[in-house]
Chains A and B, each alone.
Chain A
Amino acid sequence: MSDADSARPDKAKIAAQFIGAIPFSQALGMELDEIGDGWARISMPWSEALVGEPRTGVIHGGAVSALMDTCGGAAVMAHPQGAVSTATIDLRIDYMRAATPGQRVTAEATCHHVTRHVAFVRAVARDEEAGTPVATATGAFTFQRAEGA
């Protein structure tokens, strides 16, 4: 885990386990699409259970938050400096537009900077339509390194 160079194949495996082991992410049907150094893409399907506005079938902002938070955490875990665990310190989400009902929502998060203890993340969520994203997020996460690292 401490050797960043050999981490790439393991990283995908770890990240897949990471999301597979999260009950709430499973409940929302999240899938890890791709992961790289300090970067992750996670998506989830539209589902009736996620609807926040019954008149229109638009999913609840909280479900988008959950996706962004999970993706942000995955990006932190995928950072080459090798965190052993992470937790969200704060997360701000800007909702640009409603996610189109029936469409898959995909979040991409980048962990663009880490300090000894803190990771900084930016994320974007899109549905299947190009153009304006559904939401963007910025967050700070804890960055817990291995003992002695």
Chain B
Amino acid sequence: MSREKPEPVQVIKERRDRALARLISSVPYVRLLGIGFDRHGDELTAILRFDDHLIGNPLLPALHGGVTASFLEVTATLHLSWTWLWDEMEAGRLNAEHLELPRLPKTIDFTVDYLRAGLPRDAYARARVNRLGRRYASVHVEAWQDHRERLFAAATGHFLMPQSEPAAT
């Protein structure tokens, strides 16, 4: 795929946003939770829009621990898929126009630290891929609400990467 001149930035940006939107809209559980993503270059921030159905303890009130765990796990898997897609896109091996539903990594294990109660308001999360091998990946993810440094939850998970795509050797 030789290019005569660099593509306009807007075209590249739109292609990336399309790939991301496709990735996110493909997962019903992500829609149930109401999770969206902000993208700046290859950096993703997940946003959990608060809604009453996300409450686990109505007396406090606080987010359900399962919501927190799900938010972190969704952030980790989508970030991991995005990292993989990004590499493929950058290498020109993947066309966002004709992208079929990407296979998502499978969670092997996931450990959540509940640091403080999740308040009934929007939450944010960012993941970091500590290792991405051909088969296994290790991802750390952190979530906060009002202050970036004041985490309300963090998690580490291990993932099995999808193997079906024909290896581009």
Residues of A within 8 A of B (CB): 21-28, 48-55, 59-63, 65-70, 73, 87-95, 98
Contacts A23-B58, A65-B110 given: A91-B28 contact, CB under 8 Å? no
Question: What residues on B are CB-neighbors of A27 within 8 Å?
Answer: 32, 53
Count B-side interface residues using an 8 Å CB cutoff: 38
CB pair B29 A25 closer than 8 Å: no
Contacts A61-B73, A69-B69 given: A89-B28 contact, CB under 8 Å? no
Q: When the two chains form the complex, which single residue of A54, A61, A69 contacts B101, counting CB atoms closer than 8 Å?
A: A54
CA distance A26 to B55 in the complex (A): 10
Contacts A49-B29, A66-B70, A95-B109 given: A21-B58 contact, CB under 8 Å? yes
Query: Can you sample 10 A-B contacts with CB below 8 Å?
Result: A22-B57, A23-B56, A24-B66, A27-B32, A49-B31, A50-B32, A60-B70, A65-B112, A91-B69, A92-B109
Question: What residues on B are CB-neighbors of A26 within 8 Å?
Answer: 53
Question: What residues on B are CB-neighbors of A95 within 8 Å?
Answer: 106-110
CB pair B64 A22 closer than 8 Å: yes
Question: What residues on A are CB-neighbors of B31 within 8 Å?
Answer: 49
For the complex formed, measure the closest distance between the CB of B60 and the CB atoms of chain A, giving whole angstroms: 9
Report the nearest B residue to A55, measured CB to CB.
B101
CA distance A63 to B28 in the complex (A): 11
CB pair A62 B109 closer than 8 Å: no
Pick the most buried of B27, B65, B108: most chain A CB atoms within 10 A of its CB: B65
Pick the most buried of B31, B56, B73: most chain A CB atoms within 10 A of its CB: B56
